[in-house]
Amino acid sequence: ADMTADVEEMERMVSGYLAFARGEGTEQAQPVNLTSVLEDVAAGARRAGARVDVTAPVGLTLPLRADAMKRAITNLVDNARRHAHRIAVSAVQQDRSVSVTVDDDGPGIPSDRRESVFRPFETDATGGTGLGLTIARDIVRAHGGDIMLEDSPMGGLRARIRLPVSTG
């Protein structure tokens, strides 16, 4: 049963990555309410049983490929949901960029392994297919930003996305 679940998860992740590579890569950036995207992702995680808090300014809007960015943030929140009890998602605008953080109270990832988990099919000690973070980073970099993994003030892992406010 565990092997079947792993295979199904891998198929889902590969399908998601292929969808991004084929279709979402051509999605055009347009003004998107990032706060609404964060609330949608949190609502999905709550339906799956997670405790998720969202803190973001009302109407935080920037040019995004909405479907792709939702997939990236969902991947980060899903990772946190699998490994933690509590998740906090926040967004704040700082000068010419927006910072989105996904914090959790899980076991985290040792600092010397944080960059390697972005490689395709690389997994941490808790399993997984090793594509979620790869997909998330590809999407965020396609938006001119990046993702970093850090220690969370909640005791687990913090995934920090930095996005430019303007695509120009």
Average pLDDT, the chain: 85
Ranges 17-26, 51-60, 83-92, 151-160: which has the least confidence? 17-26
Confidence tier at 167 by pLDDT (50, 70, 90): very low
pLDDT at residue 26 in the model: 62
If one compares 73 and 132, the residue with the highest pLDDT of the two is 73
Query: Residue 168 pLDDT > 50, yes or no?
Result: no
- State the pairing for strand pair 157-164/146-151: antiparallel
Six-digit token string for 58: 């009302």
Region 62-82 average pLDDT: 91
- b/e map 111-127, b = 16+ CB within 10 Å: eeebeebbeeebebeee
If one compares 80 and 22, the residue with the highest pLDDT of the two is 80
Query: Residue 118 pLDDT > 90, yes or no?
Result: no
pLDDT at residue 119 in the model: 80
- State the pairing for strand pair 51-55/86-94: parallel
pLDDT at residue 72 in the model: 92
Query: Residue 153 pLDDT > 70, yes or no?
Result: yes
Residues linked to residue 103 through DSSP beta bridges, in sequence order: 88, 158
Region 109-133 average pLDDT: 72
Burial of 53 (0-12, 13-18, 19+ CB in 10 A): exposed
Share of the chain above pLDDT 70, in %: 80
Question: In this predicted model, what pLDDT tens digit does every residue of 93-105 receive, in sequence order?
Answer: 988 999 999 999 9
